Amino acid sequence: MTRVTAAGRLHFGFCNLSLAHERLYGALGVSLDIPQLVVDVSTADSITVDFPQNAAFADPVDRSGPTDTQRETVREYATRATEILGVSGAEVRVESSLPRHVGLGSGTQLALSVFAGVVDAYDYSLDVRANAPAFGRGGRSGIGVAAFESGGFVLDAGHPTARFTADRPADGEWDVPPVAARHRLPDDWRFLVVLPDAAPGKSDADEDASMRAAVERADPTIADRISGIVVRRVLPAVADDAPERFGEAVAEIGRLNGAWYADEQGGVYRPPVGELVASLSETPAVYGAGQTSWGPAVYGVTDAARADAAHEAGEIALESAGIDGEVFVSAPRNEGARIER
């Protein structure tokens, strides 16, 4: 049996959504130490999928356990993996899962974990990055794939605009964006995550439609401003071990991304994220706050010395907004998924 342990990630936004520039997308993000996804895979003569009754399902909206859709998704990933390898089957057991469609990258981590587990169980050696497009991964952002590979802070190079229109190509007809910069984050950095009990973020066809609309009308001057923030503020802050400057910079990138998405999500942040971000921004324990991906998860940048105060600020933010939810603080994860026999 092979066990694959992967973790969630934060997605701070894209560097460019305008077709007027040479590179499209180009994402920034960090890998978190928690929450984690654990998948066990064994060789088998057919495809079987199991979710133990006591498995930890960290879903702030639906805490009832795995749905039929989740089971079918895992089955599809396992089937695709066996087809790529040319093997008979796999037994997949999902011991714990990431929250679905909240902005922590659950889909990519699950797909790659199942694939990597099948590969290792059969003692094959295949490139996860090269095969990620076959699972519909890396069509826009490469952060999830890079987080699975090596963790840390990642800036990807985006896609050549000449190969893209406002529509994403069909699954498999792209390369995952290359990593433009990857840095190990200091061990004492922390990331506050607030998961409000709210409708899940956009995914699948709904996400595709919203991204298409955003790209078609994206203001190219916003991308120019983001580029300056990345080069002059984000990357130096990582190199200088300056979480305060890092938090302020990625929060500004999130606000600029929100200008692209405002018509698609009801504002710079999707409701109720704006209230939570405003509340967190008022506390000195949080250096910068924003929405990860389509939300509703909200992040805040802090450090180990202020982690308890940041956690309390997250709880106060939910209470002030009159929303139930979950709050946790994670260290950065500076390694990729763990694959072990």
Q: Among the three residues 180, 209, 238, which one is the final residue of a domain in this structure?
A: 180
Mean local confidence (pLDDT), 98-124: 95
Determine contact, residues 233/245, Cβ cutoff 8 Å.
Answer: yes
In sequence order, what are the residues at sequence separation of 6 or more whose Cβ sits closer than 8 angstroms to the Cβ of residue 158?
A: 14, 15, 16, 23, 24, 25, 26, 27, 177
Which whole number is the average pLDDT over 314-320?
98
164 and 36 fall within a common domain = yes
pLDDT tens, 134-159? 999 999 999 999 999 999 999 999 99
Q: Which of 162, 180, 198 is the last residue of a domain?
A: 180
297 and 209 belong to one structural domain: yes
Distance CA(341)–CA(338), nearest Å, equals: 10
Residue 61: predicted pLDDT: 44
Q: Please state the domain count of the chain.
A: 2
pLDDT at site 68: 77
Domain shared by 107 and 236, yes or no: no
Give residue 303's pLDDT band: very low, low, confident or very high (50, 70, 90). Answer: very high
Q: Are residues 43 and 165 in the same domain?
A: yes
Query: Are 242 and 195 members of one domain?
Result: yes
pLDDT in tens, 49-79: 998 765 654 444 445 566 778 889 999 999 9
* Overall pTM surpassing 0.75 (yes/no): yes
Write down the mean pLDDT value for the chain: 93
- Judgement on whether residues 156 and 196 belong to the same structural domain of the protein: no
pLDDT score, position 174:
87
Residue 47 lies in a domain: yes
Does 196 fall in a domain?
Answer: yes
pLDDT at residue 60, rounded to an integer: 44
Residue 251 in any domain: the answer is yes
**How large a percentage of the chain has pLDDT more than 90?**
84
**Residue 265 identity (one-letter amino acid):** Q
| pLDDT > 70 in the chain, percent | 93
The parent domain of residue 200 ranges over 186-330
Per-residue pLDDT tens digits for 235-279:
999 999 999 999 999 999 999 999 999 999 999 999 999 999 999
Same domain, 166 and 231: no
- Evaluate whether residue 234 is within a structural domain: yes
Specify whether 272 is located in the same domain as 309: yes
Asked if pLDDT for residue 25 goes beyond 70, the answer is yes
Instruction: Tell me: do 16 and 161 sit in the same domain.
Output: yes
| Domain end among 158, 180, 202 | 180
Provide DSSP, 41-57.
EEE-SSEEEE--TT-EE
Shared domain for 150 and 232, answered yes or no, is: no
* Whether residue 17 is found in the same domain as residue 98: yes
Residues 191 and 135 reside in one and the same domain: no
What is the CATH classification number for the domain harbouring 150? 3.30.230.10
- Is residue 83 classed exposed, middle or buried when 0-12, 13-18 and 19+ CB atoms within 10 A define those classes? exposed
pLDDT in tens, 163-222: 766 666 666 678 999 999 999 999 999 999 999 999 888 888 888 899 999 999 999 999
